[in-house]
Structure 1
Amino acid sequence: MYEVRRLRLLRDLSVHGTVAATAAACSLTPSAVSQQLSILEREVGAELLLRDGRGLVLTEAARVLVRHTERILAELEQAKAAVSALTSSVSGVLRLSAFATAAGTLVPDALAECRVRHPDLRIRLAERETPEALGTLKSGGVDVALVHEYNLLAGVTDPGVTVIPLGTEPLFVALPKESVLEPNADGELALPELRGEQWVAPKSDMALRDTLERACGLAGFVPDLAYTCDDYTVILALVRAGLGVSLVPRLAVEAVAAEVRLYPVVEPRLTRTVFAAVRAGSAEVPSVAALLAALRRAAESILG
């Protein structure tokens, strides 16, 4: 009989890629992870991991186990939800992860609502961007993760994760007030008109960077990335000072007082969809369902 704990470690290794990263995500030592995976190999009677330079790759046997493990873990989450639903109480500690612009806009209203509706529920918030948040969610480090995807890039597809769409927001181009560029009759700005402008781009949000570069490529030019920064207050301050233009999500504008001109982008049209992600099978856990409902209402009021 295979132990679920060891199967979960193998699944987590498939997510994080290295023993060290898996150990960090699971609050274990690398030697403990290696030991448990070695025991699992003996239980299975087949090689699960192969050395590839300094890294490890999963064998076909390991990939088969991971696929079955995803289903097992989803069933366990469903069992937890079914047992929890036997009580009408929404209580305990729930761990929420959110990317920065959601943490400053959607989350406060949702948490305030949960505090009023469910006073025995304690929600702990940590700020994480989408790739890290998904890995932490799958490893059990958080229970709900706010994540996003851009329409020009591949979306979140993972059998161990259920994503609930909360809303889609436009991406705006931010211009200094003295810019001579003018929107079309619909109040939108065509990306090809920004050829030759300098850009202020995010430093760590590589998905937005990739979206900017891909969109500009579709518009026929390569963006001149003059400045990079992760703080939207700084990004918009640089735009306001006339040092460049920037591509910003609507939630970033909601969270920061922007003294710049903002126009939705077309040619191509750019959007970002916000999701609440949970482990497969866990959406009906009463505390999780309560937070998801509050997040939906907060998103509806802000994103429409």
Structure 2
Amino acid sequence: MVYEVRRLRLLWELASHGTIAATAEVCRLTPSAVSQQLSLLEREVGTPLLVRDGRRLVLTEAAWVLVRRTERVLAELEEARAEVAALRSTVRGTVRLYGFPSAAVALAAPAIADCRSRHPDLRVLLDEAEPERSLAALRGHSCDVALVYSYDLLPRLPERGVETRELLTEPLLAALPPDLGGLTPGPDGAVALDQLRSHPWIAPRGDSALRSVLVRACEGAGFEPRLDYTSDDYTVLMSLVGAGLGVSLLPRLVAEPLAADVRLCEIAGFRPSRTLSVAIRRGSGGDPAIGALTSALRRTAERV
């Protein structure tokens, strides 16, 4: 019996996302279509792949065997596509890049310009997205390269079928009103978080990872931050800080371009950080177009 690769991929995505609805969204199908294809795969295999545990679907041992093998199959197919693309005499085609806003400004824009200069026949398309959406799009072939991040206080778990390569690590900086008194910075200008315990904090609303890092960093310094203001717009966050309404904790690439009326200080002691990485589908790194873009991103990161 020959197994249909598209159905195997649906089972693989279900193992990653946990629900039919989430799998359908990633694969751009309806939930009923996903259920139908998985039922057909189950008939092909001749043994149960999914069992219901209350309201949850649980993969059987046979399903996990297929999931592990499917990951290898998908990687081999990516390598085959890359090898065929490498036979071309020039680097050409279209590469779709997803990146979150601060990386799009600092890394994506100059890297795309670099690619255009070196490879005139290569077209790079850019879409703005946070890492969770970017990685789902990467696995679903909606994009080819993704810029993602992780925090040292909140490390990201490995993603199935995805390779990541670190580009740079940046510090998280305390954003303070310019006239904030009562601080005793160290010789290097760094400020201890516990000196800010009595001040209101200004936190991102949509970036739940950064918000969690802010809370964890303050708790590690012995206090729970009072979150008086939140916003999804970093310009708003920095304006609130500049107006003297509180303090914040932001990655350098986010804070520095907006810091006209804000004082930025590194954190004394453990110095929290964010690592920016480039992600591709496992096996696709040999594609000349993808390789050209990732190389340009690395060159740009070295300059940053």
- Same-fold call, TM cutoff 0.5: yes
Deviation at 1:197, TM superposition (A): 1.5
Deviation at 1:52, TM superposition (A): 4.0
* CA displacement 1:33-82 (0-9 Å, x = unmatched): 11111111111122222334444232232222111111111111111111
Q: What CA distance in whole angstroms lies between the structure 1 residues aligned with 2:51 and 2:241?
A: 49
| Cross-structure match for 1:221 | 223
TM-score (norm 2): 0.95
| Cross-structure match for 1:274 | 276
Q: What CA distance in whole angstroms lies between the structure 1 residues aligned with 2:82 and 2:184?
A: 53
1:293 is aligned, of 277, 292, 295, to: 295
| Cross-structure match for 1:122 | 123
| Cross-structure match for 1:145 | 146
Deviation at 1:255, TM superposition (A): 4.0
Q: What CA distance in whole angstroms lies between the structure 1 residues aligned with 2:29 and 2:298?
A: 35
Question: Retained in 1: the 8 A contact 2:175–2:255?
Answer: no
TM-score (norm 1): 0.95
Question: Retained in 2: the 8 A contact 1:90–1:287?
Answer: yes
| Cross-structure match for 1:11 | 12
- In the TM superposition, 1:64-143 aligns within 5 A as 64-143=65-144
Q: What CA distance in whole angstroms lies between the structure 2 residues aligned with 1:144 and 1:11?
A: 20
Unaligned runs of 5+ in 2: none
Note if 1:62 corresponds to 2:59: no
Distance 1:72 1:234, change over 3 A: same
* CA displacement 1:239-283 (0-9 Å, x = unmatched): 001111111101102443532000111333100000000011111
Counterpart residue identity of residue 153, structure 2? L
Question: Retained in 1: the 8 A contact 2:174–2:266?
Answer: yes
Note if 1:29 corresponds to 2:30: yes
Counterpart residue identity of residue 242, structure 1? G
* Number of equivalenced pairs: 302
Distance 1:150 1:135, change over 3 A: same
Distance 1:59 1:89, change over 3 A: same
Unaligned runs of 5+ in 1: none
Identity of aligned residues (%): 57
1:247 is aligned, of 241, 246, 249, to: 249
Q: What CA distance in whole angstroms lies between the structure 2 residues aligned with 1:90 and 1:183?
A: 51
| Cross-structure match for 2:170 | 169
| Cross-structure match for 1:46 | 47
Deviation at 1:193, TM superposition (A): 1.3
Pairwise CA RMSD: 1.5
Distance 1:288 1:156, change over 3 A: farther
